[in-house]
Structure 1
Amino acid sequence: MVSIRNLMPEASQRLITVPDTAPVTEAAKILTRGRATLVIVCNAAGKMVGVVSNADVVRQLSHCAGCSCTETVSQVMTREVISCHPDDELMTVWNTMKRNDLKQMPIANTAAMPLALLYANDVLQVLLNEVEYTEELLREYVMGIGYH
């Protein structure tokens, strides 16, 4: 079975972290650049303590006066982060993402240090490729190709 480790090269390029003391406006700037859809919040030791999404930023900025907003990301972040480990099986992670309606999921080591950001599309693409490969093998078997 395929593990999350196979998706790490691409997923690690998406990793964007901010310290838990960063202002919400910093997370907003990162998210509006279009490259990121989720920012991972880390404490001073580098441990993942939360995530901030577009929705979190919009919700907070609607309560304050834009750039004068002084709240930190730690005040608006989602604290209960669902993450996966590089050695987790792809199908297990996919089931977790479906069950929790997640479009992205942080990949972290056992010390909760963020390593990458996995997108649901990444997982679906690999699962689709697996199904297509299996289908091709079955078709060749049934048609007797390579089995004379």
Structure 2
Amino acid sequence: MNVGSILKSKGRAVSTVRPNATLLDVVKKLAPKKIGAVVVVGENGHVAGIISERDIIRATSEHGAQALSMMVSEVMTRGVISCQETSELDELMETMTKGRFRHLPVIEDDALVGIISIGDVVKYHLAEVQMEVSAMRNYLATG
């Protein structure tokens, strides 16, 4: 299974924020949507970074409650690792595990077309494994 299949099923909506937004703005996006990260897009619409719950916790740990008034550009992760619609689940699991992050923006032709979370990867990987188990059981039963 690849990223394109996951996006076809889950949708392509991506929550975004501008670099000059505050961390409080981000918190107000994350909580109601029950998501863990938003993609930071610059004026040209290209991905400038990503900001996650972990980034906000780190900033709050270092700066206290004043962190909520800091700009996203001060806290965001700039070196964003992304994937493409052709990326396979095994590749995503390896990338996320090695990088110790839980969200990958999906980029096609320099455009943001979706986002994949570790929850998505686990959900679809389990479905893939269950299909394989079912196929093996059918094979053995008819064997």
- Give the TM interval when normalised to the shorter protein: 0.7 to 0.9
- Distance in 1 separating the partners of 2:67 and 2:94: 39
8 Å Cα contact 2:60-2:68 kept in structure 1: no
Q: Distance in 2 between matches of 1:8 and 1:58?
A: 29
| 1:12 corresponds to | 12
Higher gyration radius (CA): 1
Q: Distance in 2 between matches of 1:28 and 1:50?
A: 16
Contact 2:59 2:67 (8 Å CA) reproduced:
no
Query: Which stretch shifts more, 135-144 or 75-84?
Result: 135-144
For residue 79 of structure 1, report the CA deviation from its aligned partner. 0.6
Match of 1:114 in 2: 112
* Aligned equivalent of 1:101: 100
Paired AA for residue 128 in structure 1: L
Spell out structure 1 runs of 4+ moving beyond 6 A: none
1:1-148 map, 5 Å: 2-9=1-8, 10-13=10-13, 15-61=14-60, 63=63, 66=66, 69=69, 71-111=70-110, 113-144=111-142
Please give the TM-score of this superposition, normalised by the length of structure 2: 0.84
Contact kept? 1:11, 1:117, Cα under 8 Å = no
Q: Which runs of 5+ in 2 are unaligned?
A: none
Q: Percent identity?
A: 26
- CA-CA distance at 1:137 after TM superposition: 1.7
Q: For the aligned residues, what is the CA RMSD?
A: 2.2
Is residue 83–residue 107 contact of structure 1 (8 Å, CA) maintained in 2?
Answer: yes
Shift of 1:102: 2.2
The number of residue pairs the alignment matches comes to 141
